[in-house]
Amino acid sequence: MNSKIVILAGDGIGPEIMDSGLTVLAAIKAQCSHEFTIEKQPFGGAGIDDAGASLPEATLAACQTADAILLGAIGGPKWEKMTDTPEKGLLALRKALNLFANIRPVSVSSALLHLSPLKPEIIEGTDLIIVRELSSGIYFGEPRELGETMAFDTARYQKSEIKRILHAAFTIAQGRSKKVTSVDKANVLASSKLWRATAEEVAKDYPDCQLEHQYVDSAAMKLIQNPKAFDVIVTENLFGDILSDEASVLPGSLGVLPSASHSSDGPSLYEPIHGSAPDIAGKGIANPISMILSVAMMLRQSFQEEAAAAAIEAACDTVLKQGVFTSDLGGQASTTEFTDAVVKELTKK
């Protein structure tokens, strides 16, 4: 079968780590039953520069007919003050493809235990998944206004939107240790009160699973204090954004966390959880693991290439255990040196 993967390399370190992701994909392709056609499209700041829009029409059309989409990262100071921004393009793409379920797994390899600022005994064995609602909430709610002396946003959720992300979280939990932690601010926010009540309702469909609720402020603390207490965390758009960057302190760097975003029917999108890292862009030192693991998630979740996905994950782990680290993890390996080491593992006879 021939499948189309649309590539949105984006800005900053986006193209650098996308090269790594595609190099690894090329190295594993002989072990896949699918054949892949790669189609590169301008997006984000690169979309503004090359095609006059952060989400050019042709890019959206290509994504809509893709079997999967790989995204590097977008954004940067160059486009910050424009009317159209890379971030607007990203939100428009998520909305247009109805990508409501953003899956952000966080685990800590034994090779990284000593690199986290947290004590090894706290993070050892951490294995959790943040299920972030991605297509609604305060990111999209109307009305919104930016005035000279006053500004506001609207944190709006439809019950149907809460239900579908809760179903996604429980379904994932059923394949794991069957525990869902729903994170909200139900002691203050109306949208969170509806979220909590809906979570209780959806939980009745999953009697084999346990549901607990936590307020987001205390969840932020417990995530660092005792990460092993979490299995599946489900939360609204903004809380999920913040908690997942916080969770990257567990493995020691934002540069190692991948994600998958799903809709109920169309193509899924795979991207690192981090941004375009303008502070290190162009230096060839970005950690490509987040992108490489996003490729693995794509192979598993969009193409059912479980063996290839597992091989990529194992190869990354082996390379870390060999002591090859990029500078975010205190090492000296360049992006390409790390990538080449992964390819070497994958193609070893």
| Residue 21 near which of ligand NAD, Mn ion, ligand IPM, none (CB within 5-8 Å, type-dependent) | none
Q: Which stretch binds Mn ion (CB under 5 A): 182-190, 191-199, 236-244, 305-313?
A: 236-244
Indicate the residue among 137 and 267 with the shorter CB distance to ligand IPM: 137
- Contacts to ligand IPM by CB under 6 A: 75, 87, 90-91, 241, 273, 275
Q: How far is the CB of 76 from Mn ion (least distance, A)?
A: 15
Cβ within 8 Å of residue 331, ≥6 positions away = 323, 324, 325
- From ligand NAD, Mn ion, ligand IPM, none, which one binds at residue 133 (CB under 5 to 8 Å depending on kind)? none
User: What does residue 145 show for φ and ψ, rounded to 5 degrees?
Assistant: -150, 140
Is 252 annotated among the ligand-binding residues?
A: no
Residue numbers 174-213 binding Mn ion by CB under 5 A: none
DSSP states of 158-181 as a string?
-HHHHHHHHHHHHHHHHTTT-EEE
Q: Which two tokens stand for residue 105?
A: 């797994």
**CB under 5 to 8 A by kind: which of Mn ion, ligand NAD, ligand IPM, none does 279 bind?**
ligand NAD
In the bound complex, what is the minimum distance in angstroms from residue 94's beta carbon to ligand IPM? Answer: 8
Sign of CA dihedral 247, 249, 254, 256: negative
First to last CA, the chain: 26
44 is in an annotated binding site: no
- The answer to whether the annotation marks 228 as part of a ligand binding site is no
The annotation status of 285 as a binding-site residue, yes or no, is: yes
Helix (H) or strand (E) holding 95: helix 86-96
Q: Is 147 annotated as a binding residue?
A: no
User: How near is the Cβ of 9 to ligand IPM at its closest, in Å?
Assistant: 15
User: How many other C-beta atoms can be found within 10 angstroms of the C-beta atom of residue 330?
Assistant: 11
Residue 344, token pair as written in the block? 């070497």
Does 241 participate in binding Mn ion (rule CB under 5 A)?
A: yes
Q: Where in the sequence numbering do the catalytic residues fall?
A: 139, 185, 217, 241, 245
Closest to 320 (Cα-Cα) out of 276, 255, 258? 255
Least distance (Å) between residue 2 CB and ligand IPM: 30
Smallest separation, CB 17 to ligand NAD (Å): 6
Nearer to ligand NAD, 20 or 126 (CB): 20
In the chain, what are the helix, strand and coil shares in percent, each to the nearest 5? 45, 20, 35
Contacts made by residues 194-197, CB under 8 angstroms, sequence distance 24+: 194/157, 194/159, 194/162, 195/157, 195/162, 195/236
Which residue, 244 or 326, has its beta carbon nearer to Mn ion? Answer: 244
Q: Is 287 annotated as a binding residue?
A: yes
- Name the residue with tokens 């005035």: 147
**Whose Cβ is closer to Mn ion: residue 263's or residue 290's?**
290
Residue ranges at the known binding site for Mg(2+): 217, 241, 245
Residue ranges at the known binding site for substrate: 94, 104, 132, 217
- Site residues for Mn ion per CB under 5 A: 241
